[in-house]
């Protein structure tokens, strides 16, 4: 309830001061403003839901959901922009040029068990 009131108050303030408010209303404050999305799911079987993901170049937002209870991470090989951790869910962004990338979970044993996937950026 308190949050909702604060939100309404912020909205009221924004309506009178339109400039400078737009960025603070964006929920994903960290990183770039997403132009495309990749949704990845991890599970107790130490697998991602797909072996291959595709997206378009630019600011890519990654959403990471856990359908099990085993904690996981999500990183891009040779790229330190993305470091997600679940728990239940996480999300983050990375600026990616067109190319082929490798997504993986860096928890010991998980990558070799199958928590690795291709990411094709076009």
Instruction: List residues binding Cu ion (CB under 5 A).
Output: 72, 105, 107, 110, 115
Helix (H, G, I), strand (E, B) or coil at 43: coil
**C-beta nearest to Cu ion: residue:** 105
Q: Between 65 and 107, name the residue whose CB sits nearer to Cu ion.
A: 107
The least distance separating Cu ion from the CB of residue 16, rounded to whole angstroms, comes to: 47
Beta carbon of residue 28, minimum distance to Cu ion (angstroms, whole number): 23
Judged by CB, which is closer to Cu ion: 34, or 42? 42
Q: In the complex with Cu ion, which residue's Cβ is closer, 31 or 71?
A: 71
- 53 and 118 Cβ atoms separated by less than 8 Å: yes
Q: CB 115 → Cu ion: shortest distance, Å?
A: 4
Please name the residue ranges forming H helices in the chain: 2-16, 110-113
User: Minimum CB separation from Cu ion for residue 93, in Å?
Assistant: 21
Residue among 36 and 70 whose Cβ is closer to Cu ion: 70
Q: DSSP string spanning 98-120?
A: SEEEEEE--STTHHHHT-EEEEE
| DSSP bridge partners of 84 | 74
- Cα angle 59, 61, 67 (rounded to 5 degrees) comes to 160
């Amino acid at each position: 309830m308190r949050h909702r009131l604060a939100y309404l108050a912020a909205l009221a303030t924004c309506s009178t001061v339109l400039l400078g408010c737009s960025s603070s209303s964006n929920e994903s404050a960290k990183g770039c403003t997403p132009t495309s999305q990749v949704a990845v799911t991890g599970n107790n079987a130490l697998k991602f839901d797909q072996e291959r993901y595709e997206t378009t170049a630019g600011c890519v937002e990654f959403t990471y959901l856990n359908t099990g209870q085993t904690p996981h991470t999500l990183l891009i090989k040779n790229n330190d922009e993305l470091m997600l951790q679940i728990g239940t869910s996480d999300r983050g962004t990375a600026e990616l040029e067109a190319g082929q990338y490798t997504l993986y979970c860096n928890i010991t044993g998980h990558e070799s068990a199958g928590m690795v996937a291709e990411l094709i950026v076009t």
